[in-house]
Amino acid sequence: MNKINKLFSENKDKKLLSLYFCAGCPTLEGTADVIKTLERRGISMIEVGIPFSDPMADGPVIQDAATTALKNGMSLRKLFAQLKDIKEEVSIPLVLMGYLNPIMQYGIEAFCQSCVDSGVSGVIIPDLPFKDYQEIVKPVADRYDIRVIMLITPETSEERIRFIDEHTDGFIYMVSSAAITGAQKSFDEAKQEYFRRINAMQLRNPRMIGFGISNKQTLEAAQQNAAGAIIGSKFVTLLSESKDADEALDKLFDALAQ
């Protein structure tokens, strides 16, 4: 069974926590250590960012991390090599998050094969058109048992959400707002209503809520309205500041308790 499906099937009553960080930041060779530290500290799933020069869905924190990673020499090929080295040591799901351009340059078939070879269970491609997903990416990804995770926002229509739910597997990434990534202090009533509306749809796939989670209030709101929460910018900031995954996690857990 794909590790993503296994995670959700075995933890239906547990509120999951997934963290995002950008491969190659703060250091080129630190990716493996960050992953192993996050798993050791109880993180449920890890999103590993593929650095790209024009990350349009990301705020300044993750843009800066991608710039640092590229300057450090990180590439998709380098990332796969690093992940392959620790494949047998990592049991939680790894999801690559990256933009379409580097993946297309690598080649869809080669990309999916490298995912299998390096222990990657899924991929999030924010700028992948759904039509291209269905016609080009999904047939290949399905052959390799790689989950392609789709995003929905408060502006996504109910018809489209149900279509995504019907044609994807793994989980649905619920973006808390239509804005770029970045920490928020609270989720306003409009976002809470969006969470309730999606809950009422009784979707087939589990959902994870991301974008803007950085404290106890936003974490609890996400975990009450989905299978769990995804934290990106807050952890990326702390990791860039401390250069140490354990220390960054300590500070993150402190922030999530307040």
Catalytic residue numbers read 47, 58
Place of tokens 């222990």: 119
Nearest-10 Cα torsion for 136, 142, 147, 153? 40
E strands, the chain, are 16-22, 45-49, 94-97, 122-124, 147-149, 151-152, 172-175, 207-210, 228-231
Answer for the pair 98, 62: CB distance below 8 angstroms, yes or no.
no
Q: φ, ψ for residue 114 (rounded to 5)?
A: -65, -35
Type of residue at 51: P
Whether residue 126 contacts residue 211, with contact meaning beta carbons closer than 8 Å, is answered with no
**CA neighbours within 13 Å on the CB side: how many for 187?**
29
Tokens of 237: 């900031």
For 19, the token pair is 């963290």
Q: Is 238 exposed, middle or buried (0-12, 13-18, 19+ CB in 10 A)?
A: buried
CB-based contacts of 165: which residues, under 8 Å, 6+ apart?
Answer: 172, 203, 204, 205
